């Protein structure tokens, strides 16, 4: 399904695709019930906003538990 490019591992994306809806639903439930603060995010020097390391670890665990 995913085509191979120099910067990706297409097969890995194909393997996770069947569980994607489950993981997406877990993250959506988390987002809807969680009040966020600025501490949960990091703004890089180039203006890109990322999850803080702590919040990113938590969200990653949601996907694995789904």
pLDDT tens for 2-58 read 565 665 677 777 777 888 888 888 889 999 999 999 999 999 999 999 999 999 998
Q: Which residues pair with 50 in a beta bridge?
A: 42
CB distance 23 to 66 below 8 Å? yes
pLDDT of 1 strictly over 60: no
> Would residue 22 be called left, alpha or beta, if left means φ above 0 and alpha means ψ between -120 and 50 degrees?
alpha
CA-nearest of 62, 54, 52 to 30 is 62
- With H, G, I as helix, E, B as strand and everything else as coil, classify residue 8: coil
Q: Which residues pair with 48 in a beta bridge?
A: none
Whether the predicted model's global pTM rises above the 0.95 cut: no
């Amino acid at each position: 399904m995913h085509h191979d490019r120099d910067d990706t591992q297409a097969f890995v994306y194909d393997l996770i695709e069947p569980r994607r809806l489950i993981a997406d639903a877990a993250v959506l439930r988390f987002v809807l019930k969680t009040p966020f603060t600025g501490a949960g995010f990091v703004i890089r020097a180039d203006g890109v906003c990322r999850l803080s390391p702590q919040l990113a670890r938590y969200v990653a665990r949601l996907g694995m538990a789904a």
